[in-house]
């Protein structure tokens, strides 16, 4: 990430920043995700240790709520060695995360140490900070990326009579300090490398960094086991022009004042699926409102409403539920997508039917919750 990039400079998550995310709106969001990981841990036969690895934790709200679930389920998890690993490029946001998760009790490391900060959560779990996923130790891990992939840079392409051409950003010769989009006169290396041969769209956005990350996650899950949960706004390979900017909660021209606005593009889940290269199974994308419903959000809301003392809190709970679930708000455009080892969904040898086998446990969230 360039030093003059948005996240290393401004990084405006939170109410005073450029955007507010689901975990910042409602504690229920992170709690249900925490339950999802515990459910996968149980389905895997309760391994003796796991790492929770979050990519781009923002203000740290999501991990904070997940840690509360781990604490509430302490008797279940008591023999499990849990550690938290945060991948964050923004020095400013890493400090916000440290404050949120440890109360500021952290130690910084020498500059060349891949673990640049360490601390212990308020609930007693070790937390380490990294700039790159490759520095996170290998081992059985749960990965989490919420509103992370949409923040990574994209390439834009357009189909022409002469074949695919990359859409580039250039300085406008007529207007000083004004950027403009131009079509590359000939094929660029990106055109050759990033367009799928079977592509049918006229315009496409490709995020090669997302592809590389998914390859790394798929390798790790194939080798060490675990699960990855990716939640973001996006589509399954159908949309074309989604690149846009936000500043102070308002739409912002992507070509104006570079480095000062949050630039984003919808996540193309079909591309992520392709980039697993079959190393893992995938589930989804499924709409956020369906995932959260399957995870039992309605029941959780009822409990919180019953436990809340005043009508202002109840109103806030209902409003944030509506924000997360309403198809016109975040319910439909946000999606959940999971990477799982193949053996989680199918037996390695399907032909051998001689041995009676316990049925595979369904993956929570991606189907209706069965309360058996």
Please give the residue ranges that form the binding site for ligand SAH (CB under 6 A).
1, 7, 11, 13, 21, 23-24, 56-58, 61-62, 87-90, 93, 146-148, 151
Decide whether 40 or 262 has the Cβ nearer to ligand SAH: 262
Decide whether 21 or 39 has the Cβ nearer to ligand SAH: 21
Tell me if 48 sits within 8 A of 80, measured CB to CB.
Answer: yes
Cα-trace Rg, the chain: 22
Kindly tell me the sign of the dihedral angle through the C-alpha atoms of 105, 54, 34, 65.
Answer: positive
Decide whether 23 or 365 has the Cβ nearer to ligand SAH: 23
Q: Which residues, 6 or more positions from 77, have their beta carbon under 8 angstroms from its beta carbon?
A: 38, 41, 70
Decide whether 331 or 341 has the Cβ nearer to ligand SAH: 331
- Write down the residue that tokens 């440890």 correspond to: 102
Q: Which residues, 6 or more positions from 114, have their beta carbon under 8 angstroms from its beta carbon?
A: 130, 131, 132, 135
Decide whether 22 or 158 has the Cβ nearer to ligand SAH: 22
> Whose CB is nearest to ligand SAH?
56
Q: How far is the CB of 328 from ligand SAH (least distance, A)?
A: 21
Decide whether 135 or 332 has the Cβ nearer to ligand SAH: 135
Cα–Cα separations (whole angstroms), residue 260 to 128, 181, 244, 293: 29, 19, 13, 36
Q: How far is the CB of 272 from ligand SAH (least distance, A)?
A: 16
Q: How far is the CB of 183 from ligand SAH (least distance, A)?
A: 28
Cα–Cα distance measured from residue 172 to residue 156, given in angstroms and rounded to the nearest whole number: 18
The bridge status of strand 141-146 relative to strand 179-183 is: unpaired
Q: How far is the CB of 44 from ligand SAH (least distance, A)?
A: 24
Please count the CA atoms within 13 angstroms of the CA of 176 that sit on its side-chain side.
0
Q: How far is the CB of 58 from ligand SAH (least distance, A)?
A: 2
């Amino acid at each position: 990430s360039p030093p003059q990039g948005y996240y290393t400079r401004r990084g405006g998550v939170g109410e005073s920043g450029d955007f507010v995310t689901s975990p910042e709106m409602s504690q229920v969001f992170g709690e249900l995700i925490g339950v999802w990981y515990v459910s996968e841990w149980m389905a895997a036969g309760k391994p003796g240790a796991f790492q929770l690895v979050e990519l781009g934790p923002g203000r740290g709200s999501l991990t904070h709520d997940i840690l509360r679930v781990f604490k509430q389920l302490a008797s279940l998890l008591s023999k499990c060695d849990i550690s938290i690993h945060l991948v964050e490029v923004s020095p400013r946001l890493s400090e916000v995360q440290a404050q949120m998760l440890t109360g500021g009790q952290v130690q910084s490391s020498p500059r060349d140490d891949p673990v640049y900060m360490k601390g212990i959560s308020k609930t007693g779990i070790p937390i380490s900070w990294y700039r790159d996923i490759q520095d996170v130790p290998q081992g059985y891990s749960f990965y989490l990326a919420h509103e992370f992939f949409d923040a990574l840079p994209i390439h834009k392409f357009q189909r022409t009579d002469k074949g695919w051409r990359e859409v580039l950003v250039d300085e406008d010769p007529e207007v000083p300090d004004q950027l403009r989009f131009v079509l590359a006169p000939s094929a660029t290396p990106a055109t050759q490398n990033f367009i799928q041969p079977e592509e049918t769209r006229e315009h496409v956005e490709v995020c090669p960094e997302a592809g590389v990350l998914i390859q790394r996650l798929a390798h790790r899950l194939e080798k060490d086991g675990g699960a990855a949960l990716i939640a973001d706004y996006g589509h399954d390979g159908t949309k074309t022009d989604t690149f846009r900017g936000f500043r102070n909660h308002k739409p912002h021209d992507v070509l104006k004042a570079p480095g000062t606005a949050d630039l984003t593009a919808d996540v193309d889940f079909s591309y992520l699926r392709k980039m697993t290269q079959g190393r893992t199974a995938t589930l989804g994308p499924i709409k956020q409102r369906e995932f959260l419903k399957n995870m039992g959000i309605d029941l959780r809301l009822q409990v919180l409403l019953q436990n809340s003392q005043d009508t202002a809190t109840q109103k806030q709970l209902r409003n944030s539920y509506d924000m997360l679930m309403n198809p016109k708000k975040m319910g439909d455009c946000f999606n959940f997508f999971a990477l799982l080892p193949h053996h989680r969904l199918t037996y390695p040898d399907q032909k051998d039917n001689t041995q009676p086998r316990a049925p595979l446990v369904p993956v929570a969230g991606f189907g209706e919750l069965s309360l058996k």
